[in-house]
Amino acid sequence: MADLIVGAPFEGSGAVYVFRGSAAGLNADYSQRIAATDLSLAARPLSAFGYSLSAGVDVDENGYPDVVVGAFQADAVAVLRSRPVVNVMTTLRCYPRVIDPRVTQCRRDGLPYNCFKLQACLRFTVNPADRSTAPASLQLLLQLSMMSRITFCCCIWTSVGCVRVSGR
């Protein structure tokens, strides 16, 4: 079942409620409430926000249906653009935990270097999770600062979402 949007134009200055649909039916509790006072659109406040609704059109062409909400007493409309929400949690580990500049474990071009391994792990979730209809993909841009005394090499992407970088 599709989501349902309900306008409440006479609740204060007006509001819109979003009820999520699923294969099991419509959720009885709303998942989101957007009040006219939550929006800072124009010089004058919105009134009777939610009096008219138009949904299902992808206004910004991002693949998600947007909603146009009318506020007839303010002679205004608001375009509420939909977007996916992705939460990214990261951990960063360095091996060894303490780098002693007097202990060199590596050699390059005949010169001694301090070596360490840096591990960055990313975990991400899609919200709402039931909206993830295809396998999630994540594009990772790894940008390393190249300082004159530090060289990064050996970048490896693993299937579990970790990037290991060996530094010298």
Among 36-40, 127-131, 164-168, the minimum mean pLDDT is found in 164-168
Q: Is the pLDDT of residue 96 over 90?
A: no
For the ranges 82-86, 117-121, 129-133, 156-160, which has the lowest average pLDDT?
Answer: 156-160
Residue 69 — very low, low, confident or very high, per pLDDT cuts 50/70/90?
Answer: very high
pTM of the model: 0.55
- Gap between the Cα atoms of 136 and 74, Å rounded: 41
Residue 124: per-residue pLDDT:
73
> What residues does 94 pair with on adjacent strands?
118
Percent over 90 (pLDDT), the chain: 22
Q: Tell me what the pLDDT averaged over the chain comes to.
A: 76
The two three-digit tokens of residue 79, written as one number = 């375009």
With tokens 């919200």, the residue in question is: 127
Closest CA relative to residue 117, chosen from 142, 153, 159: 153
Most confident of 38-42, 58-62, 113-117, 159-163: 58-62
Residue-wise pLDDT for 21-50, tens only, equals 888 889 899 989 999 998 865 567 889 999
Using 50, 70 and 90 to split pLDDT, how confident is the model at 5? very high
Residue 60's pLDDT is 86
Res 138: pLDDT: 53
Percentage of residues of the chain with pLDDT beyond 70: 71
- Name the CA dihedral angle for 9, 10, 15, 21, rounded to a multiple of 10 degrees: -70
Q: Strand, coil or helix: what is 129? A: helix
